[in-house]
Structure 1
């Protein structure tokens, strides 16, 4: 099959997987049902494998079909990027930057960086995606994002950290938050995790990056946190703590404006630290928007690097 025809056929296969039928996929693609069927049949002839289980409703892909669609998405993203760069060279299109970030970065230092990008590079067309780590890394590796602010920690699985090129921005240590009337809130000195071993905890949902990092730190201190309430919303967790429902560990970025009724304390040892970086695929010829945004983020966060705690 010629390349363009192959790409179109793989796109049709992806829509069949997404929509669950040839007819629904045809509606999305602006084709006839017969044309979609012909695309799939051509792919199956080319690969010598059955790609669609036509006996299921909604229609499902075979294992081979899923493999082809997964790689096809990456190919499509690369071709779109190539088209964009060629158009930029020809002067027919402004630069594009598809930028992703996790929520606490978006509500703290990222807006200032985006504002500078808009001022210094007004022709760049910017798209911003708000997602959690579990979603950002796959979007980067699949080519759906050009650049993203991410973080890593030894407690996180490789699938979350991903094989990406990273530029370190700063370290974000976690802090303890306590109800204002908690017995430990009267202490003016830093706490240890061991001080909290017998407490009820408020934390992230099991399996979330936040929960994994907190559990890793607590286990290193000799105990498992007794999670009584779960939420991945830092504001909700602070409200639960303010109501006296437990204690929690929250990254520093999540405590820029603490909720009334909580006390924030540093840990003197064993505090988990997430490493904040800006990440992209390790490809040559990154578009100008990527290079510009990296430089801006490094500059905007320079004061946070100067404030990084010493490693214990």
Structure 2
């Protein structure tokens, strides 16, 4: 009989591509991971991994088994959820990984909601970059992720995850006040900024992907001369005349905008889509259900706020 723990190990190696990285994610030693994989190959009678440069990749048999592993691990999550429901286990800690703006806009309000609606549920919040929360979820370091769409993210139809759309927000152009387009009425076309020096997040940050996609959609590659993941720094650089930027609208709340002009842009790709995700099957867990409900409620209130209506809009499946 195939050991489910070894399937989880194989899944981690398939995700991380090296035994060392998988071991770190699973809080095991590389030796223990190698032993589990060797035992799994003996159980199945097939070679599951092969060397690929400095890492490893799945063999054809490994690909087949990982496909089944996703289904098995999902079913185990459901079994744990059903047992917890049977035990009326609506008391405990849910670890949530989220990027900073998601914490401010929906996660903190959800905590306030849970205090009244589900006082037995306590959240442990981990501040994680938008591209880090999903790997943390899949590796078991978090029970729930508040994440954004980005290149390289698990697909929306990935069977390992159950998603709940929360909100979407546009990116705005941030220009020095002396820029020729700063005072012109109406939205800007991203293509009008093609010749400018740009300020933006580092590669790997999902907002970097949104900026690149919006510029590609407009027919050019931005000349990124300055990089920062701190949008206050991005605005300060724009204020100093160092370049232009596209910034998520909510990230400009509370930022000193003296010296810059903030303008809407005509670009559908310049949008940040935010969602909650749990491992498939876990959405039924009695600790997870009220958290997802509180996040939905916080997102709905956000979209309904009169002063925020032009800023954020609810998303739908």
Contact residue 191 and residue 265 of structure 1 kept, 8 A? no
Question: Residue 197 of structure 2 aligns with which residue?
Answer: 200
2:235 to 233, 238, 245: 238
* Distance in 2 separating the partners of 1:41 and 1:232: 42
Contact residue 200 and residue 208 of structure 2 kept, 8 A? yes
Give the match's secondary structure for 2:119.
coil
Q: Give the length in aligned residue pairs.
A: 295
Question: Residue 293 of structure 1 aligns with which residue?
Answer: 291
**Against the structure 1 CA distance between its residues 247 and 44, is the aligned structure 2 distance closer, same or farther, given a 3 Å change threshold?**
same
Question: Structure 2: where are the runs of 5+ without partners?
Answer: none
* Distance in 1 separating the partners of 2:204 and 2:219: 20
Question: Residue 134 of structure 2 aligns with which residue?
Answer: 137
Contact residue 77 and residue 142 of structure 1 kept, 8 A? no
Which structure has greater helix proportion?
1
Q: Find out whether 1:159 has 2:154 as its counterpart.
A: yes
Contact residue 193 and residue 267 of structure 1 kept, 8 A? no
CA deviation map 1:106-162 (0-9, x unaligned)? 133321212222343221242323323333334445665443222337xx3563656
| TM-score where L is the length of structure 2 | 0.70
**Against the structure 1 CA distance between its residues 42 and 301, is the aligned structure 2 distance closer, same or farther, given a 3 Å change threshold?**
closer
| TM-score where L is the length of structure 1 | 0.71
Flag the structure with larger Rg. Answer: 1
Question: Structure 1: where are the runs of 5+ without partners?
Answer: none
- RMSD over aligned Cα atoms: 4.4
Greater RCO structure (CA 8 Å; 6+ sep): 2
Give 1:97-112 correspondences, 5 Å limit.
97-112=94-109
**Against the structure 1 CA distance between its residues 127 and 191, is the aligned structure 2 distance closer, same or farther, given a 3 Å change threshold?**
same
Question: Residue 280 of structure 1 aligns with which residue?
Answer: 278
2:300 to 286, 302, 306: 302
| Range with greater deviation from structure 2 (177-186 or 200-209) | 177-186
